[in-house]
């Protein structure tokens, strides 16, 4: 839990792993510079992850936003929103807003992605 805002940190989902590892010092210690570098990397990763999910959901006008590094907010154009802990939970929230299932193999979704690419 964050002692300042009282937000519970969720268990890390596999998709929260970074593309790159910032290693410990050779003797195994973690100095403040490393801690801060990891924190910055984590926040940049979460922002990028949210942007990628918003890109995938662009055809439906649904967006994802990181909230203080602790959860994500799913929003649609009607003003609905949902708080989810990780990417795995995004799709159910988005389906609830859409009232329809989301399928990454759907040819219409793939065509929409290509049009936007």
Partner 1 sequence: MSAENRLPVLIVSGFLGSGKTTLLRRFLQHPLAGEVAIIVNEFGEVGIDHHLIRKTDERTVLLDHGCVCCSMRSDLAHALRELLSKRDRGVIPRFDRVVIETTGLADPVPIVHTIVSDPVVRNHFRVERLVVTLDAVSGQANLDTYGEAVRQVAAADAVILTKLDLVEEEAVDALRATLAAINPTAMVLDSAFGRTDFHRLLAADSAGLGALELASANGTGPEPAPAVAHGMGAVASRCIVIDRPLDWHMFGVWLTMLLHRHGSRILRMKGFLNVGGEGGPLVLEGVQHVIHAPRHLREWPDDDRRSRIVVITRDLDIDLIEESLHAFQDAAQSA
Q: Which residues bind partner 1 (CB under 8 A)?
A: 11-12, 14-15, 17-21, 45, 48-49, 51-53, 55-56, 87-88, 90-92, 101-105, 110, 113-114, 116-117
Looking at beta carbons only, is 6 or 107 nearer to partner 1? 107
Q: Which is nearer to partner 1, 48 or 77 (CB)?
A: 48
Residues 6 or more apart whose CB falls under 8 angstroms from that of 93 comprise 74, 82, 84
Shorter beta-carbon distance to partner 1: residue 9 or 77: 9
* Tokens found for residue 23: 């290693």
Residue with tokens 């009232």: 99
Angle made by CA atoms 45, 89, 77, in degrees to the nearest 5: 85
Pairing state of beta strands 71-75 and 81-84? antiparallel
To the nearest whole angstrom, how small is the minimum distance from the Cβ of residue 64 to partner 1? 9
CB of 106 to partner 1, least distance (A): 9
């Amino acid at each position: 839990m964050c002692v300042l805002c009282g937000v519970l940190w969720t268990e890390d989902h596999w998709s929260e792993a970074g593309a790159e590892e910032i290693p410990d010092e050779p003797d195994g210690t973690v100095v403040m510079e490393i801690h801060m570098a990891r924190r910055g990397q984590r926040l940049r990763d979460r922002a990028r992850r949210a942007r990628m999910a918003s890109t995938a959901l662009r055809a439906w006008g649904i967006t994802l936003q990181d909230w203080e590094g602790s959860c994500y907010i799913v929003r649609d154009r009607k003003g609905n929103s949902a708080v989810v802990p990780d990417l795995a939970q995004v799709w159910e929230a988005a389906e609830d807003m859409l009232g329809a299932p989301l399928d990454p193999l759907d040819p219409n979704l793939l065509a929409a992605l290509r049009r936007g690419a």
